[in-house]
Structure formats: C-alpha cells, structure tokens
C-alpha cells in the first residue's frame, strides 16, 4: 500500500527544478545526483507529513477511547495503513483520496476527553478538515483555543456529549463555519460575541447547556436554525426580526423581550435601545416616538381587519375538541363560551399524573413522562387559541399555543372503537419506548366519545413539505441528506418494530406527512401506533386486522413509498398517477434513470447508489406482503448504501 497517497505530488515543483538545472551549466552526473537527492528529500517530507496526519488522528481517537483504540470500531486506524486507502472507519477523504476532509465519529461510543489540539495543531490535517461530527457520544472536556487552527471547518457538530467549560472566543476564527451544534452539553460561560462575525453561519444550536450572559447580536436573517433554549442567558433578546419564535429562547428565566411573552424591565429596554442606537438626540427620539405611535395605530387597524378576516379560520380549544367534527365547520369562540356543547362537562376535566389516574382514565388528561408539560391541564388546552392544521382521514389536527409560549399539537382521532383501557395501555407502552427519531406523545385524553393526543409542535414541518414545498431548506435537501434521513427513519422503525413486535403495534399510517423534522432537521416519526381502520388498503377491515405481521408489513410498504418520494421528488398521487405504479412501469421499460429527481441528477449524485436505493424501495413496495423485507433488513441495506456514499468521492459538502 502506498504511503504517499494522502498528499498531492510535487511534480510541478520538480519540473521547474529540472528545467532550471538543464539550463544551468552543470554536467549530467551532477544534475542526476542533485535530482535524486531532491526526490529523496521531497519523498521524505511527504511521508513525514502523512505520518503527522496519521499520528494526529490516532492520538485524537486514542484519547477519545481512553486508549482502547483497538477495541472495535477503530481497528483499521493503524499507523501502518493509509486513512484514505484503507478506509478508516469514520474518515472521509477528498476526491483524489489524498487528504482527510471529514470525520464522522458520531454515535461511536466515545467516552474520553476532547483534545481538539491533537487535530487542529497538525497543519496538514487542519488545512483539509472541513467537517467534524462527534455528536451523541459521552465525550468530556472543553473546546480549547486551538480550535482556531482548524480554519477549513464548515460543520462542527458536538451535540449530545458531556462537554463543559467556556466556549473560546477563538471559535470566531472559523470563518468558513456554516453549522455549529453544541447543544445538549454542559457548556458554561458566555456565547462569544465574536461569533456574530462569521457571516456564513446558518445554523447555531446551543440549547440545553448552562451558558450565561447576553445573546450576541447576530444577523438572524442569515440563520436557518437558531436555538439557545434551556440555558442561563439573561437580558433582552436582540432583534430577531420575526425570524425565530419564542421556542428558540424558552427556558432562560432571565431572558426577556420579543419573541418571549415577558417584557423587559424598562431599564433594560432603555439600555438595549441605547446600545443599538448609539448617539441619539432627543429630537430624533421624539420623532421616533410619533412614528412608532403612528405605526402602532396603523398596525392595530391592520391587526383588527386581519382578526376579523381570520375569525372563521381559527378555532379555539373548546371548539376543536368539542364541536368540529359534527358539521366540519370551524368556529372561533371566546374563552367564556368554552363550555362544552358536546361530549364533555367541566366536572370531567382535571389533570392527573400517570400514577393517580386509574379511576379517571376516561375523564382526565393523562400526562406521560415527558417533563415538558408537567403542569399541563386539560382546561389549559381548551382555553388556548388553536389553529386547524389539517383534517386527515383519521381525524383533525390543531396547533395550540400553550400559555408558557410553547406550541403544542392536538390530534383528535375519530372513529376509533378501541376501549379506554386498551387505549391507555397502548399509550403507556409507547411512552415506555425511547428513540431520538420517534416523536412521543406528551399527554392523552380518552373518553367514550373522544380520543385526543398531545404532541410537541415541530417547527420545521414535515418531509412532505420539505420535498414538495418551497422552503429554503428544500434547496439544500441534497442526496447525502436524503440518505441520512432514510437511514434514520429505517433505524427508528426497526427499533419500534422490534420492541413492539410482541404487542402487535405497528405505525399503521406511515407517510411523508407523518415524518416531521425537528430543530436539528432530523426526521421524527410522528403518530406511531395510532392504527385506525383503513377499509381500502391492503386487507385490513378492522383494527384487529391491523395487528400481527400484516401491520408491520404495511409499515414497510409505507416506508418504501417514502423512499420513492425521496428518490423521485414526486408526490405519491399526482394527476391521477400513483407513484409506485409509475416507478414500476418505468423500471420495467428499463428507463430507470428517468425516475430520479432532476435535482439529484444535477448535483451528480451517484447513479449506482440511487439505483441501489431504488432496489430497496421496490422490495418494500412488493405487492406481496410476505416478500417484503423486515425493517431490520431494510435498515441494514440502507446503512450499507450510506457507508458506500461516505466512502465515495462525490460530496456536496466539499468546500
Ligand atoms: N407535531 C407536529 N408539529 C408540526 N406539524 C405537524 C405535527 N403533526 C402533524 N403535523 C402536520 O400537520 C399537518 C396535518 O396533519 P394530519 O395528521 O392531520 O394530516 P395527515 O398526516 O395528512 O393525515 P392523517 O395522519 O390523518 O392521515 C400535516 O402537514 C402534518 O405534517
């Protein structure tokens, strides 16, 4: 194996050198001696550079594995082999297989200490490394100032570790940085104000840490994702220009101002204004005052007109749970009129925890184990303003603005003849499972007439919207991201099928609108286990028919259709054409390439891997349920495709 493959050859320098020698008056022997010595020196230098990269990588991983590098994932990481040629686990190189571009060390069971200097102090490595993924390990330690040497970094993902200490202001030296995810760690200190100087930063996720101080004045317009919730930030929130909602700032008790509901004390407001305006004369202030007053009046008038217009489109909590489905009309009532006009009475509603609800199962809101809503009461749900999000085959869905600034989603299921006890058992069984890519219900309500489920609202919409909508994110939904989404979903489903095989609880209604994207743009499977009768699909004619293996095979079919959406970029039903039938007919005619989404073709996604993924999708949508693979098998096949992609030379992340 060549040890000179990581770095570019020095042929250009040599040519120049030789031509100079030829033109000089030295005799031939001298020329050759000098030439050989030079080649020897260059080769020596090249191999010492390669050795430096290798030893940096090996030392880095050794520290993260507490010197157990030879136990498992990192067996191939040896100084006797080449990281690119020998395909070290987690290492992705450039197109010529010469320099290390990306390190994917996420979810790799790393428990040691982060020593970023071991990577960034190696100049050849720091000069090529653009992506570093270390999320979802148990890495401790701090980010040291040497991070600044990794100048080429575009993505730094450290989410879900035990990292602590302050964030060094040298982070701001990473001028190419696009995504910084330090969420779910134990970072303290302040968020360096200098970070706002990185103009290309589009994702900053710092939620669930203990970071203090004020939020720097970022240009929030540049951000696609921003979240600093659940920290110790204080003071006024800088102007986010309506670009982010309260959700991104919740859980910081001393933070105030828009978009949070709590206003800042006037002294802080003054401070904020002073800081942002610099020198302002009293005349300007007076003029601004008049202007603000005028605008406020104008805004109030527009708001009043808007409210009137919206009146018929918005329903409040009481309407949604009690009155909607009978006549399918959407009404808005005031809080005072929220007494029930069908089904419930006030005496029925009281919050109960899972432990003490046994006698109240049919009349109370049952809170599940997620602490986010441990104060939620049924009355709160009824009182809160709500907006109809959709009315699907199986019920209606409402976005509810809960009073603490949090947005919830309430699913009202219709025509489900499950007994209250079975429903409760099912919800508790589902609550007992935990997978980061499955959205768990927060609470539920069950009576003879009503079944309600409460979920957290997901701000980034669904996979359906991402694929077929017009959002900015759709433009960056490239081939690598699509494979990642497919793998995550398949693993989540495989986990759920495995855990719930004995209970016969499948998803039952898997489709791209039920795949939601969380704040990290990771897919979350929503509405798992709400299997409702579908008289038209497969052979199911009752809820019971949807249990057993057929229900799981139906999920596999649904997953296959989602894969087809990812590959073709087309809707499941469009102009009377069924996507699965269309793809099958095109493949039969041997025009396979015609099925692929044009945007994938134009980004030069690997045809080989697209065809591989298509083959998996077609297996899943086989007409015969028995011939479909299990989700475990699907997850394994997709992981192989992902690994091949990571090893590949084509990548849209290349800087
Ligand atoms: N927790 C959530 N946060 C944000 N949006 C959601 C959430 N749950 C569902 N949605 C979105 O709300 C819309 C309506 O959802 P709903 O479940 O009513 O419709 P559906 O999935 O098309 O139909 P059904 O599930 O009844 O077959 C969908 O676009 C869905 O993606």
Output the CA 307–ligand 1 centroid distance in Å. 25
Structure confidence by residue, pLDDT tens digits, 507-528: 999 999 999 998 778 899 999 9
Whether 587 contacts 618, CB under 8 Å? yes
Say yes or no to pLDDT of 116 above 80. yes
553 is in an annotated binding site: no
Per mean pLDDT, which of 163-172, 528-537, 545-554, 557-566 is the most reliable? 557-566
Say yes or no to pLDDT of 637 above 90. yes
Q: Judging by DSSP bridges, how do beta strands 314-316 and 385-392 pair with one another?
A: antiparallel
Of 61, 83, 73, nearest to 128 (Cα)?
83
Mean pLDDT of 526-539: 63
Alpha carbon nearest to ligand 1 atom 30, residue:
513
Q: Which one has a higher pLDDT value, 42 or 367? A: 367
Say yes or no to pLDDT of 161 above 50. yes
Q: How far apart are CA 567 and CA 592, in angstroms?
A: 11
Q: How far apart are CA 489 and CA 617, in angstroms?
A: 13
Say yes or no to pLDDT of 469 above 60. yes
Say yes or no to pLDDT of 14 above 80. no
Confidence of residue 407 (pLDDT cuts 50, 70, 90): confident
Q: Collect all residues with Cβ–Cβ distance below 8 Å to 6 and sequence separation of at least 6.
A: 49, 50, 53, 82, 83, 84, 93, 98, 99, 100
Whether 128 contacts 100, CB under 8 Å? yes
Q: Which ligand 1 atom lies nearest to the CA of residue 396?
A: 18
Q: Tokens 């809960």 map to which residue? A: 402
Output the CA 513–ligand 1 centroid distance in Å. 6
For a ligand 1 pocket test, name from 392, 554, 571 the mutation site with the most ligand atoms within 8 angstroms of its C-beta.
392
Q: Which ligand 1 atom lies nearest to the CA of residue 455?
A: 1
Give the orientation angle of helix 549-568 with respect to helix 607-620, to 10 degrees: 150
Q: How far apart are the first and last CA of the chain?
A: 28
Q: Tokens 């057929």 map to which residue? A: 550
Per mean pLDDT, which of 286-295, 313-322, 406-415, 511-520 is the most reliable? 511-520
For a ligand 1 pocket test, name from 513, 517, 565 the mutation site with the most ligand atoms within 8 angstroms of its C-beta.
513
Burial class (CB in 10 A: 0-12, 13-18, 19+), 429: middle
Q: How far apart are CA 558 and CA 510, in angstroms?
A: 5
pLDDT at 34: 64
Q: Tokens 């003879």 map to which residue? A: 448
> Ligand 1 site: residues with CB under 6 angstroms?
389-390, 392-395, 397, 409, 455, 457-458, 462, 509, 513-514, 516, 526-527
Alpha carbon nearest to ligand 1 atom 31, residue:
513
Q: Comparing 17-26, 295-304, 488-497, which segment has the lowest mean pLDDT?
A: 17-26
Longest dimension (CA), the chain: 107
pLDDT at 284: 59
pLDDT at 283: 55
Per mean pLDDT, which of 210-214, 378-382, 548-552 is the most reliable? 210-214
Q: How far apart are CA 46 and CA 58, in angstroms?
A: 18
Alpha carbon nearest to ligand 1 atom 15, residue:
390
pLDDT at 559: 98
Output the CA 400–ligand 1 centroid distance in Å. 13
Q: Comparing 39-43, 92-96, 200-204, which segment has the lowest mean pLDDT?
A: 39-43
Q: How far apart are CA 338 and CA 313, in angstroms?
A: 17
CA torsion sign for 254, 259, 265, 269 is positive
Output the CA 155–ligand 1 centroid distance in Å. 31
DSSP-assigned letters across all residues of 334-393: -GGG-S-SSS--GGG--EE-STT-GGGTTTSEEE-S-GGGTT--HHHHHHSEEEEEEEET
For a ligand 1 pocket test, name from 462, 536, 572 the mutation site with the most ligand atoms within 8 angstroms of its C-beta.
462
Phi, psi of 17 (to 5 degrees): -60, -45
Per mean pLDDT, which of 68-82, 329-343, 548-562, 624-638 is the most reliable? 624-638
Q: How far apart are CA 60 and CA 458, in angstroms?
A: 37
Burial class (CB in 10 A: 0-12, 13-18, 19+), 314: middle
Beta strands in 215-363 (DSSP E): 225-227, 234-236, 254-256, 314-316, 351-352
Mean pLDDT of 544-552: 63
pLDDT at 19: 52
Question: Does the ipTM exceed 0.85?
Answer: yes
Kindly report each contact of residues 167-175 with a partner whose C-beta sits within 8 Å and lies 24 or more positions away, as own/partner: 167/143, 167/191, 167/192, 167/211, 168/143, 168/144, 168/192, 169/193, 169/194, 170/145, 170/146, 171/143, 171/147, 171/195, 172/197, 172/198, 173/147, 173/148, 174/147, 174/148, 174/150, 174/198, 175/151, 175/200
Q: How far apart are CA 394 and CA 416, in angstroms?
A: 9
Say yes or no to pLDDT of 534 above 80. no
- H-run or E-run covering 157: strand 155-157
Look up residue 231 and give its DSSP letter: S
For a ligand 1 pocket test, name from 390, 391, 406, 525 the mutation site with the most ligand atoms within 8 angstroms of its C-beta.
390
- H-run or E-run covering 318: helix 317-322
Phi, psi of 584 (to 5 degrees): -60, -40
Alpha carbon 66 to its chain centroid, in Å, reads 30
Output the CA 259–ligand 1 centroid distance in Å. 25
| Region for 371 from its dihedrals, namely left if φ exceeds 0, alpha if ψ lies in -120 to 50, beta otherwise | alpha
Q: Which one has a higher pLDDT value, 285 or 469? A: 469
Output the CA 576–ligand 1 centroid distance in Å. 23
DSSP-assigned letters across all residues of 171-190: GGG-TT--EEE--SSEEESB
Say yes or no to pLDDT of 449 above 50. yes
Output the CA 621–ligand 1 centroid distance in Å. 23
pLDDT at 447: 79
b/e map of 340-362 (b: 16 or more CB within 10 Å)? eeeebeeeebebbeeeebeeebb
* Mean pLDDT taken over the chain: 78
Of 152, 58, 147, 160, nearest to 109 (Cα)?
160
Q: Which ligand 1 atom lies nearest to the CA of residue 407?
A: 3
Say yes or no to pLDDT of 389 above 50. yes
Output the CA 270–ligand 1 centroid distance in Å. 43
Q: Tokens 């720091």 map to which residue? A: 126
Q: How far apart are CA 449 and CA 312, in angstroms?
A: 25
Mean pLDDT of 570-595: 88
Q: How far apart are CA 320 and CA 623, in angstroms?
A: 39
Burial class (CB in 10 A: 0-12, 13-18, 19+), 145: middle
pLDDT at 66: 87
Q: Comparing 244-253, 320-329, 470-479, which segment has the lowest mean pLDDT?
A: 320-329
Output the CA 631–ligand 1 centroid distance in Å. 23
Confidence of residue 476 (pLDDT cuts 50, 70, 90): low
Share of the chain above pLDDT 90, in %: 36
- H-run or E-run covering 457: none
Q: Comparing 210-214, 470-474, 547-551, 618-622, which segment has the lowest mean pLDDT?
A: 470-474
Q: Which ligand 1 atom lies nearest to the CA of residue 462?
A: 31
Length of the chain: 655
Give the orientation angle of helix 607-620 with respect to helix 579-588, to 10 degrees: 120
Q: How far apart are CA 407 and CA 401, in angstroms?
A: 5
Say yes or no to pLDDT of 107 above 90. no
Q: Which ligand 1 atom lies nearest to the CA of residue 393?
A: 26
Q: Which one has a higher pLDDT value, 555 or 29? A: 555
Query: Strands across the sheet with 443-446, in order?
Result: 314-316, 385-392, 395-401, 407-413, 451-456, 443-446, 365-367, 351-352
Q: Which ligand 1 atom lies nearest to the CA of residue 458?
A: 3
pLDDT at 593: 82
Cis peptide, bond prior to residue 259, ω within 30 of zero: yes
Distance set, CA 467 to CA 241, 367, 389, 488, 600 (Å): 27, 34, 19, 17, 12
For a ligand 1 pocket test, name from 388, 514, 565 the mutation site with the most ligand atoms within 8 angstroms of its C-beta.
514
Whether 584 contacts 595, CB under 8 Å? no
Alpha carbon nearest to ligand 1 atom 12, residue:
389
Say yes or no to pLDDT of 355 above 60. no
Beta strands in 447-499 (DSSP E): 451-456
Q: Which two tokens stand for residue 14?
A: 């040599």
pLDDT at 468: 86
Q: Which ligand 1 atom lies nearest to the CA of residue 397?
A: 18
Kindly report each contact of residues 66-73 with a partner whose C-beta sits within 8 Å and lies 24 or more positions away, as own/partner: 66/111, 66/112, 72/109, 73/108, 73/109
Structure confidence by residue, pLDDT tens digits, 245-295: 888 899 999 999 989 888 888 765 555 554 444 444 555 566 666 777 778
Structure confidence by residue, pLDDT tens digits, 23-68: 555 566 766 776 666 665 555 555 666 888 999 999 999 999 888 8
Q: Collect all residues with Cβ–Cβ distance below 8 Å to 395 and sequence separation of at least 6.
A: 325, 411, 412, 413, 414, 532
Output the CA 522–ligand 1 centroid distance in Å. 17
The secondary structure of the chain in percent helix, strand, coil, rounded to multiples of 5, reads 40, 15, 45
Output the CA 575–ligand 1 centroid distance in Å. 22
Say yes or no to pLDDT of 426 above 80. yes
């Amino acid at each position: 194996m060549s040890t000179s493959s990581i770095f570019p050859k020095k042929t250009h320098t040599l040519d120049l050198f030789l031509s100079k020698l030829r033109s000089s008056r030295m005799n031939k022997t001298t020329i050759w001696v000098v030439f050989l010595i030079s080649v020897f020196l260059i080769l020596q230098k090249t191999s010492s550079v390669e050795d430096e990269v290798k030893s940096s990588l090996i030392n880095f991983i050794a520290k993260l594995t507490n010197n157990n590098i030879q136990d498992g994932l990192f067996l191939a990481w040896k100084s006797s082999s080449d990281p690119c040629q020998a395909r070290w686990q987690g290492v992705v190189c450039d197109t010529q297989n010469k320099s290390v571009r990306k390190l994917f060390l996420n979810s790799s069971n790393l428990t040691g200490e982060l020593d970023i200097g071991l990577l960034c102090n190696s100049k050849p490595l720091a000069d090529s490394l653009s992506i570093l993924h270390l999320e979802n390990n148990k890495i401790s330690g701090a980010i040291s100032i040497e991070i600044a040497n990794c100048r080429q970094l575009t993505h730094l993902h450290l989410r879900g570790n035990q990292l602590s200490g302050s964030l060094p202001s040298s982070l701001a030296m990473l001028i190419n940085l696009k995504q910084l995810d330090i969420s779910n760690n134990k970072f303290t200190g302040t968020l360096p104000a200098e970070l706002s100087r990185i103009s290309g930063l589009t994702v900053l996720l710092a939620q669930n840490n203990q970071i203090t101080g004020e939020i720097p004045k970022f240009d929030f317009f540049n951000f696609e994702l921003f979240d600093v919730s659940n920290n110790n930030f204080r003071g006024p929130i800088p102007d986010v220009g309506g670009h982010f909602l309260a959700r991104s700032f919740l859980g910081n008790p001393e933070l105030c101002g828009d978009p949070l509901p709590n206003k800042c004390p006037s002294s802080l407001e003054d401070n904020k204004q002073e800081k942002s305006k610099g020198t302002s004369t009293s005349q300007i202030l007076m003029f601004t005052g008049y202007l603000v007053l005028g605008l406020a009046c104008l805004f109030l008038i527009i708001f009043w007109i808007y409210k009137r217009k919206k009146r018929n489109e918005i329903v409040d909590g009481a309407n949604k749970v009690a009155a909607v489905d009978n006549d399918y009309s959407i009404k808005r009532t005031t809080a005072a009129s929220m007494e029930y006009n069908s089904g419930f009475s006030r005496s029925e509603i009281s919050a109960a925890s899972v432990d003490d609800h046994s006698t109240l199962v049919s009349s109370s809101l049952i809170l599940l184990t997620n602490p986010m809503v441990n104060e939620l009461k049924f009355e709160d749900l009824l009182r809160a303003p709500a907006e109809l999000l959709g009315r699907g085959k199986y019920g209606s869905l409402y976005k509810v603005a809960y009073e603490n600034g949090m947005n919830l989603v309430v699913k009202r299921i219709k025509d489900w003849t499950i007994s209250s006890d079975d429903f409760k058992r099912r919800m508790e069984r589902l609550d007992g499972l935990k997978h980061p890519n499955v959205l768990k219900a927060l609470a539920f309500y069950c009576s003879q007439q009503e079944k309600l489920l409460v979920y957290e609202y997901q701000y980034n919409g669904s996979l359906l919207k991402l694929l077929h909508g017009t959002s900015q994110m759709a433009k960056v939904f490239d081939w690598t991201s699509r494979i990642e989404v497919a793998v995550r979903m398949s693993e989540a489903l495989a986990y759920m099928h495995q855990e719930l095989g004995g209970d016969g609880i499948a998803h039952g209604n898997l489709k791209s609108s039920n795949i939601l994207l969380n704040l990290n743009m990771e897919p979350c499977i929503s509405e798992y286990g709400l299997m409702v009768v579908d008289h038209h699909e497969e052979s199911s004619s009752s809820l019971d028919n949807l249990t057993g293996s057929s229900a799981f095979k139906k999920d596999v079919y649904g997953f296959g259709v989602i894969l087809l959406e990812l590959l073709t970029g087309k809707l499941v039903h469009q102009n009377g054409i069924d996507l699965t039938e269309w793809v099958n007919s095109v493949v039969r005619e041997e025009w396979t390439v015609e099925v692929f989404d044009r945007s994938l073709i134009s980004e030069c996604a690997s045809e080989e891997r697209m065809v591989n993924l298509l083959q998996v999708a077609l297996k899943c949508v086989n007409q015969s349920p028995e011939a479909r693979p299990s989700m475990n098998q699907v997850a394994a096949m997709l992981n192989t495709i992902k690994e091949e992609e990571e090893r590949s030379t084509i990548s849209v992340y290349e800087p």
